[in-house]
Structure 1
Amino acid sequence: MLSSSLASRAQEAWNEWEIQCLVMASFSLQVFLLLSAPFRRRHVSRLLNGSLWVAYLMADYVATYILGRLTLLLAVTGGNEGTRHHQLALFWAPFLLLHLGGQETITAFSMEDNTLWKRRLLDLIAQVAMSVYVVGKQWRQGDRLLVAPMVLMFVLGAVKYGERIWALRAAAARAPGSSSIASLVTHAYWKEHYWKGGYGRLVCISSQDKISIESILKEASVEFQASLDFFMDMTPSDKSISSWMSAFDMDTLLQLKTSKNVYGMAYKLAEMHVSLIYDYLYTKFGTVRFHASPKSNPTMVAALQWLVSLGLTSVALALFAMAMAGNTTSNFDYSESDILISYILLKRERRQQTSPGGAVGALIRRILQAPCETPPPPHIIVSPEVKKLLLDKMFVAAIEALQNNRWDFRRFQGQWALWVANRFEGSDAAAGPAHKALSSIQKLDFVATVVVWHLVTTICFQAGDGPGELTNPSNDLSGYIMYLVAKRGLMVDSNGHIMIAKTQMGVPDFLDELHQDGFIQKLREGDQQYNSPFQLCIAEACMVRVELFKIPEARDRWKLIAAVWTEILCYMALNCGATFHAKHLTAGGEFLTQAKMLLFVIRLPFLIKKMGVIIPPFM
């Protein structure tokens, strides 16, 4: 009997407080999404991503369920005393539309969510219809003083929901496999002044004593369309040449390479490009900044949005307060808890518009200031030496491409390392040790090449006979790329997975031998042999290592190794697919993505020689 009584009381309590609890749960989910979503672009945390994923899904489910319960509440209770007691709950329907519209800090959890924008549009139609039904019931049998604030919040909620679908649709148009890609690529091909300037502006920025964040943001905004197309692998690779491209001549490139703050400028600009692209793909910030008309001022658009949202919310709050003040003469007995919840919902929306940390305030700040940079993930320490080495090699490759042949980034063939070998052995010295070492790249597939050169770099690094400015960053890049290939399976086909598995069977014993006396000397002399079919990569690594040790100068040897790894990194950045880069924007980012946008900043993949002018062919 006692248990039955407790169950009955619990059921009665839940029936009494069900709507209130669910509304506050929806409110809490929105607050969590607003505050937590920005952290995923800067931190790699399974707990954070898991919590955001659950909150992102549950927020829509809970809000939709509550709207259904509100319509059921109207149908069941009719016009009796219970209806008047719960009548204020109907006032919350427009706020559920606001919740379904989502927060400015997150519109999509992943790229797949963007592609579901048509489903969201159907949801919008259904939820708006239910909200109209609730508002209509309020007009016919409820407190008519609440109709005006309900209508205002309904309009704001419908606009916010539509804005979310607009953002999803715009991002989905550039998702891999989208039917809109063909038209977007064609548009980019024929668009004049695809890049609105050459190296001149970059030289001006990097020549400053202190790099201006405003100038970095302005440059990134001007080139946003081109950077987004490049990021999503939609850049035309053969655009007709325009005469105005003299801004990309050799002199300007050399000025950029030797400017005082070129490293800080290049990486900050690459980070800014990544941050703006994240905004476009996963938040509402890009909706105002880039989805609107190109001729519109984004600051004015943001200010107009802020004024409209603030005005509607403030008027609704004032009208609601007046309705509650006049409630003493009405026939509706609103509970204090319902009134408190209503004020919480209204004041939260108003505070979001007016506080410095509010969503629209944050939007304006992101237009006027720089977004937070996206640091590399914690599984690799990207030292300043690694960044300097990568940018130096990019500049060297750009100059070499101008003086000799364009870099073919569609396949990895050791072209950068071959340029290095030609400097100290000559282009005709095919029998030299450097050229022999590089010959392995031509006969191995990509995964096997990565495995072989990772083993070679490990052996050379443990030998400790090279300059630190080359050995340490080269070894770091080797470990990072091996991590991407072996752990992440990036650019690995079925044969590559088998190759990695076979190598892992032989690598432990192989690496243990590195500590044995005389092993390095055996490699120098070519006495160490591996004939096992499971250790073919190890045998190839030994051959390459022997040839590298024949190079007289250790610095030349490490220049060769550094060129191999920097080209592999750039090759992977350009060919691993936009899906990989877009996916990891939401999980702290990858250094590989930063490298891709650095290539965009330098224009390296598209520099060709024509009458002494460096010309990106898709201009």
Structure 2
Amino acid sequence: MEILAKAKNLWMKFNVRGAILTSLSLQVLLIFLAPIRKRCSNKWFMMLIWLAYLGADLVANYAFGLISRAQFIGSTSDSEADAYGDILAFWAPFLLLHLGGPDTITAFALEDNELWRRHLLNLLFQLGAAGYVFYQSFPSSELVVPTILMFIGGTIKYVERTIALYLASFSKLRDSLLPPADAGPNYAKLVAEEYVSTKMLAMVPESKLPSTDVELENSLDDRTVIKEAFFYFTTFKGLLVNLIFSFRERNDSSQFFGSRPAKDAFRVIEAELNFFYDVLYTKAAIVHCLAGYLFRAISIGSIVSAFASFCVLNKHGFHEFDIQITYTLLLGAIGLEFVAVGRLICSDWTIANVATSESIFIRLLLKFKSESSPFALHIIHARWSKFIFQYNFLDSRLTKWPKWIAKPLGLIPLEELIDDLKPRRVEQYSEELGELIFEELKRKASCGSTNETCASRGKWALEHTENWEKCKKLLPFVSDVDYGKSLLLWHIATELCYNTDKSENPHRKTSKILSDYMLHLMIKQPSMMSAVAGIGQIRFRDTCAEADRFFDENIFDKSKTSKTNACRILLNVPTALNPALVKGDRSQSALFDACILAKELRKFQDEKWEIVSEVWVELLAYAAIRCQPYMHAQQLSEGGELITFVWLLMVQLGLSEQFHIQDGHVTATVH
């Protein structure tokens, strides 16, 4: 029994040490890897961050329990046990520091912000636990001063995290952004004193967007990009909680963005979304203020002072291994703090808040963060992944496992699982694609009413083409069908045209990228499309079933058949009759309707790619402006999405219904 007791005691000692060092390791992992998630969409990397985020809290809480238990068991008069208890009391505040987490991540997902009450309760509980551990060793402790100093630093870090979660919760964020109550002019008094003639009231007409025909020649420098992004972030951060804005704010942003080239507009949008990310997922909002700087200085000073006081302390009686662990914890804490300070100094927030760029420091900082920096530095400071995920209907059917293999083995669900686990096909965002989207949105912003352009999902693009009379036959494919069917029709038609037309038209490639991207959103990220897609997934499954049957009957070996050949076989099917008349409404398949659309598009020769690309931009814009801001915000922590950039760009150009028609009060004519 004595041997078992010693073995148990030995396990407890090494268990505590292992938990403490694991907790520190997770903090190091998070501070360096967490910022990468806003520009990386790799599922396995996101899994690693998720495990580290959850594990950091679990390990720290577990270590707290081990320390409390070891203190209780080891409370004897033995000098070695007392020394061990003292060192445990000194380690406890390090766990508070770790529970506070790095500045680079406070929430893994938006739901974590809504759990701020749980973190507040945990903060109070762990402060009590740390205080109890300190009280247990206080009478004999030689580490009182460094322990108190670490306790101060750890408490500040944990309080910072809790406040950051609280401020980023949507209810609090909305409350903080609501404008003050405004009763307006004293209507009763004005009417009673006969200052206003009600017959002469003139309502303020809907203001028209300023002309966006003129573009400034000079490209924006990096500092101006960040300054403008911060200004519009401050103006429009209420977008996250569905607040309404005035036409004056709309006109200001649309005038700025409408007068810039596409590259500058997307650079500003990219930096603006980075500010949104920082507010929702990091400590940036509470660190970048006077109180935040003050408490950060106190925290760093406490940790450095604790290190200095431990260095000069007489360590006689402490185990050598425990001393090494303590130095590791202290140096780790100091290192993490200085990395955080370095990130704070180099952040966009610092540049945005600096009044002038004449100082050498600001010039060097901007050069370090610029796109002209070496590739490695550009990767470090990139603000989104620039990945456009692709999902192709024909690829999914031609690479499908044969039924004679899948059915006997029951592999149909397994095939879907494997398809989800496979690396997603991506295309890199290009300036040509950005320019196409920007110019089309700017063209819509410069004419027509906001409600009409926001409600259009292809019709506006067809009606404003040069060859409008010929395009009338294409209207039923956007106006007479729901959005989900329209998307599937144009995706399959784009694929059929793309594989049977080898022209060098630049819109051919961009049409293909947007087509595959929109299908990816509908199939792989339906939450982004829930407001517009309707039964899109049901229709997709029915279309897949019809395509599988058709290819099984007409193609012997799909794995050896090129997409070009498959497209030609599809286009050779007679389509004189409407598929709905032949098949009825039992199936929602859109396969042969898409073939009819493709044949109509082929009549336009090379001109069709301008038409197709404009329709795809409008389909993308329609989905972007109707997707809930919450879903856009969620994507910021997963590498970012093109649809989110389009959403914010549309708002900045005035293509949103979140604007008042009037600003101020009713205009009145005075007698």
Match of 1:43 among 40, 59, 63: 40
Letter in 1 for 2:598: R
Name the CA distance, whole Å, in 2 between partners of 1:323 and 1:571: 67
Letter in 2 for 1:208: N
* RMSD (CA atoms): 3.7
Q: Do the aligned partners of residues 536 and 29 (structure 1) sit closer, same or farther apart at CA in structure 2, a change above 3 Å counting?
A: closer
Offset at residue 566 of structure 1 (A): 0.4
Q: Do the aligned partners of residues 150 and 436 (structure 1) sit closer, same or farther apart at CA in structure 2, a change above 3 Å counting?
A: same
Letter in 2 for 1:142: S
Q: Which moved more, 1:81-90 or 1:412-421?
A: 412-421
* Contact 1:70 1:134 survives alignment (8 Å): yes
SS in structure 1 at match of 2:475? helix
Offset at residue 351 of structure 1 (A): 2.5
Residue 406 of structure 1 is matched in structure 2 by 450
Residue 125 of structure 2 is matched in structure 1 by 126
Residues 369-423 of structure 1: per-residue CA shift (max 9 Å, x gap): 565320233633133322221111111111223xxx32446645424324324x4
Residue 58 of structure 1 is matched in structure 2 by 55
Offset at residue 26 of structure 1 (A): 1.2
Offset at residue 269 of structure 1 (A): 1.0
Residue 521 of structure 2 is matched in structure 1 by 484
1:215 aligns with 2:215: no
1:309 aligns with 2:299: yes
Q: Do the aligned partners of residues 436 and 607 (structure 1) sit closer, same or farther apart at CA in structure 2, a change above 3 Å counting?
A: farther
Offset at residue 79 of structure 1 (A): 3.2
SS in structure 2 at match of 1:444? coil
Match of 2:538 among 494, 498, 518: 498
Residue 647 of structure 2 is matched in structure 1 by 596
Residues 169-213 of structure 1: per-residue CA shift (max 9 Å, x gap): 1111x2xxx4x5764674399799xxxxx9999999x6435x311
Q: Do the aligned partners of residues 58 and 550 (structure 1) sit closer, same or farther apart at CA in structure 2, a change above 3 Å counting?
A: closer
* Contact 1:84 1:334 survives alignment (8 Å): no
Name the CA distance, whole Å, in 2 between partners of 1:336 and 1:457: 70
SS in structure 2 at match of 1:108? coil
Offset at residue 463 of structure 1 (A): 3.8
Residue 163 of structure 2 is matched in structure 1 by 166
Letter in 1 for 2:627: C
Offset at residue 246 of structure 1 (A): 6.7
Residue 507 of structure 2 is matched in structure 1 by 470
* Contact 2:39 2:385 survives alignment (8 Å): yes
Residue 83 of structure 1 is matched in structure 2 by 81
Offset at residue 33 of structure 1 (A): 1.3
1:444 aligns with 2:487: no
Name the CA distance, whole Å, in 2 between partners of 1:103 and 1:7: 40
* Contact 1:507 1:538 survives alignment (8 Å): yes
Q: Do the aligned partners of residues 245 and 95 (structure 1) sit closer, same or farther apart at CA in structure 2, a change above 3 Å counting?
A: closer
Letter in 1 for 2:326: S
* Contact 2:97 2:158 survives alignment (8 Å): yes
Match of 2:590 among 537, 557, 576: 537
Residues 448-490 of structure 1: per-residue CA shift (max 9 Å, x gap): 1111111222222234276612221112101110111123224
Residue 388 of structure 1 is matched in structure 2 by 435
Residue 341 of structure 1 is matched in structure 2 by 325
Offset at residue 544 of structure 1 (A): 3.0
* Contact 2:104 2:282 survives alignment (8 Å): yes
SS in structure 2 at match of 1:380? strand
Match of 1:417 among 438, 441, 461: 461
Q: Which runs of 5+ in 1 are unaligned?
A: 193-197, 290-297, 426-431
Residue 471 of structure 2 is matched in structure 1 by 434
Residues 465-517 of structure 1: per-residue CA shift (max 9 Å, x gap): 76612221112101110111123224256632221110111235379796379
Match of 1:17 among 14, 17, 38: 14
SS in structure 1 at match of 2:446? helix
Q: Do the aligned partners of residues 408 and 10 (structure 1) sit closer, same or farther apart at CA in structure 2, a change above 3 Å counting?
A: farther
* Contact 2:212 2:446 survives alignment (8 Å): no
Offset at residue 545 of structure 1 (A): 3.4
Residues 1-28 of structure 1: per-residue CA shift (max 9 Å, x gap): xxx9998886454234222122111111
Offset at residue 97 of structure 1 (A): 0.5
Letter in 1 for 2:463: W
Offset at residue 272 of structure 1 (A): 0.8
Match of 1:515 among 551, 565, 572: 565
* Contact 2:149 2:303 survives alignment (8 Å): yes
Residues 92-144 of structure 1: per-residue CA shift (max 9 Å, x gap): 1111100111111111111111111000000001111111122223322322x
Residue 295 of structure 1 is matched in structure 2 by none
Offset at residue 353 of structure 1 (A): 3.2
Residue 151 of structure 2 is matched in structure 1 by 154
Match of 1:28 among 21, 25, 28: 25
Name the CA distance, whole Å, in 1 between partners of 2:342 and 2:34: 16
* Contact 1:412 1:446 survives alignment (8 Å): no
Q: Do the aligned partners of residues 5 and 455 (structure 1) sit closer, same or farther apart at CA in structure 2, a change above 3 Å counting?
A: farther
Q: Which runs of 5+ in 2 are unaligned?
A: 185-208, 352-368, 370-380, 390-424, 556-562, 666-671
1:581 aligns with 2:632: yes
Residues 40-88 of structure 1: per-residue CA shift (max 9 Å, x gap): 2222223322222222112112211222222222222223214224121
Residue 619 of structure 2 is matched in structure 1 by 568
- How many residue pairs match? The answer is 556
Q: Do the aligned partners of residues 487 and 444 (structure 1) sit closer, same or farther apart at CA in structure 2, a change above 3 Å counting?
A: same
Letter in 2 for 1:414: G
Residue 373 of structure 1 is matched in structure 2 by 383
Offset at residue 362 of structure 1 (A): 0.5
* Contact 1:417 1:561 survives alignment (8 Å): no
Residue 292 of structure 1 is matched in structure 2 by none
Offset at residue 285 of structure 1 (A): 2.1
Match of 1:455 among 492, 506, 516: 492
Residue 93 of structure 2 is matched in structure 1 by 94
* Contact 1:437 1:543 survives alignment (8 Å): no
SS in structure 1 at match of 2:450? coil
Name the CA distance, whole Å, in 2 between partners of 1:375 and 1:41: 7
Q: Do the aligned partners of residues 408 and 501 (structure 1) sit closer, same or farther apart at CA in structure 2, a change above 3 Å counting?
A: same
Offset at residue 270 of structure 1 (A): 1.3
1:352 aligns with 2:336: yes
Name the CA distance, whole Å, in 2 between partners of 1:133 and 1:518: 77
* Contact 2:39 2:638 survives alignment (8 Å): yes
Name the CA distance, whole Å, in 2 between partners of 1:435 and 1:228: 41
Letter in 1 for 2:489: V
Offset at residue 306 of structure 1 (A): 4.4
* Contact 1:420 1:560 survives alignment (8 Å): no
Q: Which moved more, 1:151-160 or 1:45-54?
A: 45-54
TM norm structure 1:
0.80
* Contact 1:63 1:99 survives alignment (8 Å): yes
SS in structure 2 at match of 1:334? coil
* Contact 1:417 1:564 survives alignment (8 Å): yes
Letter in 2 for 1:282: Y
> Superposition pairs for residues 95-114 of structure 1, below 5 Å?
95-114=94-113
* Contact 1:386 1:474 survives alignment (8 Å): no
Identity of aligned residues (%): 27
1:229 aligns with 2:266: no
